[in-house]
Chains A and B, each alone.
Chain A
Amino acid sequence: MRKKSSKAGNKRAKIKPKLAVWKFASCDGCQLSLLDCEDELLGIAEIIEIANFAEASRHVLPGPYDLSLVEGSITTSHDADRIKDVRNQSRHLVTIGACATSGGVQALRNYAREEDYRKYVYARPDYIEALATSTPISNHVKVDFELQGCPINKTQLLEVISAFLHGRKPNISSYSECIDCKLDGNVCVMVAHGTPCLGPITHAGCGSICPRYNRGCYGCYGPQDSPNPRALGDWMVAMTKASPDFVNRSLQTYYTGNKIFHEASELFQKDAQKVDALGESQSLPSPEPNRKDT
């Protein structure tokens, strides 16, 4: 063990660790976060070899890579093969952003008919080759760490890069957005203003910007470690008079590919259908805040 680490240490002292950045189905926003590190970028390049980063450079060094950052979800069979190659070339593989960690907003197709989507968007759907689903990277290969957010937080990104290159665990809190929001001294928008807010079930990291801008959290950092979306949704309906349809859609957006969020959303979808059946003049009985659902 000792011998191995010393050998690796000597090797690393001579050669800069190699970083690769890969893109799958996504908006480029998470890898842009690295280029948005205006104050740090040139410093990063001093200590890390940016070996493969198509958005930033024509320069490509062959693998293996010490750290691969992967953005985007798997939506084609070609990409399902490509991610395996990426994994094989990477000592550590970290996924960045909602698409890579849960399938992204494009995972809405998972609960619709992909064929219908294809027909709606394309005049010649037969030219299109795509999988019926948009899935996170972890469904396909082993992932060493998942950094959530749509988009990710660039300070957290720097922490993750630094942690992996030093062989330590990234210091990324997995608690809810509510904690950071309270630490920031914000008044709770849900309690004080009756604004529906996904803060209690959402992963911390964005800097609680929405409440600071008079807006409820819309869940773009995905689920915190142990979320209870059903309970929160019930409170949103009871306390803020949000419609079940609103709760359903709130949970079915950037992290709809997450099982816990999606299962809870379907519950509210059923409630919304009941409201529709009853007609607008009538409302549902008050939801029970601690209901047990199947």
Chain B
Amino acid sequence: MSSDSEIKIKAGIRPGAQAGLKTRTIKVDYLARVEGEGSLYVRTKGQEIEEVQFKIFEPPRYFEALLRGRDLTEACDITSRICGICPIAYQMSAVQAMESALGIELTKEISELRRLIFCGEWIESHTLHVYMLHAPDFLGFEDAIKMAKKYPKVVSQGLQLKKIGNDLMKLVGGREIHPINVKVGGFYKLPDPSQLRKMLDPLKQARDIAEETVRFVSKLEFPDFERDYEFVSLFHSEEYPINRGRIISNRGLDIEVPSYLDHFQELHVARSNALHSVLKERGEYLVGPLARYFHNEGRLPERVRECAREINFKVKDCRNPFKSIIVRSLEILFACEESLRIIEGYVAKGPAFVNYEVKEGIGHGCTEAPRGILYHRYEIGCDGKIKEAKIIPPTSQNQKTIESDLFEVVRKYFSSPESELRHRCEQTVRNYDPCISCATHFLKIEREDVNS
């Protein structure tokens, strides 16, 4: 059960065999440029890696517990408070779960508008990550502000792109952080078509900046590093998945969303401080942009695929986690294209929301948050109150994979100077854009004595 023992087995530790060898510890007590509070701990002895921990010390907030007794209409607003960077993903998974429990069929117009606001979040969140959290790693800067001194145009364009994503969320959702317009069955209010059309020009500019972003990031220097991942993402035969689809993997998983818990399991392990989600019988897997692209490249609009061809990016590149910055940039371009398509076809037709009758039931929701699939499950009583709640965010699902990446990175760059190795480890974690506040389950850290 304990992945502590798993790591040790992998590391080939033979107790006592390494006696007398010097230990080397790489610690990053407060991991910067990630959302939430986490740290990094790697301990090596001689040439052996003894322990790798991507640790999360974000305090527990108990969302699943406090949701019990709340009305089914409230989950959407309350769960958005799990994360300020991807609130739409929480709102969408929550309303989708409630709509499945109540048997609500959305109109095409509402579904398209949901996809539009989600595109706004992808643009905003991915751009924040690409420009402000991740690009400085590749270019040797401590942050985007310092990077702006050498690359003023690049950073300004990034900020402009991010702003357009935020503006889209604000227009459809009322505000960019914790939007207020999403409700079970649809929206409180449909946006005015003339207001939406005002976004067309900014989105065309955003599309141009996104293309430049793809070209810019493709020229970064990527470590020669690959791993054979099990990629898990939504899959939909007609569209690049955001809000709907089946859950698939490249090792044979192909399930409907309500079967999620039959195939995935959260383990409570003492050596880490957060629950680890694994595929039953198979273990770690990867969710997020690499997985989405791997499975759904064929459903991207031609303009995005052409851009990928231009920089010679291929599906096999998804096996290099450092190239996730390229996929995020391609997804920003996709989200701009998709937003333009939706707005151009938008007519404020039909109701803002579909009416429903409250009844008891169980509902599941799964959407593609910028960082990967986000699963919600609720049990609703006949009074419309939530009886049970379960939320599995992408960062919990990626935790084991992040640690395995770190293990391999330390092995590969073992002889690098201390500061370089530490930086490389931090970058490895940031490849996943981990959303630590999202990983709602936390545990205290058990630290082993090196000499015991």
Q: Which of A115-123, A258-266, A284-292 contacts B (4 or more CB under 8 A)?
A: A115-123
- Would you call B160 and A38 a contact (CB within 8 A)? yes
- Would you call B177 and A57 a contact (CB within 8 A)? no
A32 proximal to B (CB < 8 A): yes
* Smallest CB gap from A207: residue in B: B175
Also in contact, A127 and B443, with CB within 8 A (given A27-B437, A109-B62, A206-B175): yes
Of the candidates A28, A79, A207, which one forms a contact with B437 in the assembled complex, judged by CB atoms under 8 Å apart?
A28
B343 proximal to A (CB < 8 A): no
Q: A residues 10-44 with Cβ under 8 Å of B?
A: 23-30, 32-33, 35-36, 38-39, 41-42
Query: Which A residues contact B (CB, under 8 angstroms)?
Result: 23-30, 32-33, 35-36, 38-39, 41-42, 45, 50, 54-60, 75-76, 79, 104-106, 108-109, 112, 114, 116-118, 120-124, 127-130, 134, 150-151, 206-207, 209-210, 212-215, 218, 220, 246, 249, 253-254
Interface residues of B, CB < 8 Å — how many?
Answer: 65
Q: Which of B139-147, B247-255, B290-298, B302-310 contacts A (4 or more CB under 8 A)?
A: B139-147
Chain A nearest CB, measured from B6 CB (Å): 17
Of the candidates B31, B58, B180, which one forms a contact with A210 in the assembled complex, judged by CB atoms under 8 Å apart?
B180
- Would you call A58 and B32 a contact (CB within 8 A)? yes
- Would you call B36 and A253 a contact (CB within 8 A)? no
A-B contact count (CB 8 A): 187
Query: Which B residues contact A (CB, under 8 angstroms)?
Result: 30-37, 58-66, 68, 70-71, 74, 77-78, 81-85, 87, 128, 132, 142-146, 148, 155-156, 159-160, 162-163, 166, 174-178, 180-181, 188-189, 266, 268, 270, 275, 352, 426, 437, 440-444
Chain B nearest CB, measured from A102 CB (Å): 13
Of the candidates A26, A41, A60, A106, which one forms a contact with B66 in the assembled complex, judged by CB atoms under 8 Å apart?
A106
- Would you call B65 and A106 a contact (CB within 8 A)? no
* Smallest CB gap from A280: residue in B: B383
* Smallest CB gap from A40: residue in B: B159
Could you say which residues of chain B place their CB within 8 Å of the CB of A121? Answer: 60, 62, 64-65, 440-441
Could you say which residues of chain B place their CB within 8 Å of the CB of A58? Answer: 32-33, 142-143, 426
Also in contact, A59 and B142, with CB within 8 A (given A27-B83, A36-B177, A117-B65): yes
Also in contact, A29 and B174, with CB within 8 A (given A42-B156, A55-B33, A122-B268): no
Chain A nearest CB, measured from B40 CB (Å): 12
- Would you call B180 and A130 a contact (CB within 8 A)? no
Q: What 3 pairs across the A-B complex have the smallest Cβ distances?
A: A29-B84, A57-B143, A117-B65
Could you say which residues of chain B place their CB within 8 Å of the CB of A134? Answer: 61
* Smallest CB gap from B74: residue in A: A249
Chain A nearest CB, measured from B279 CB (Å): 18
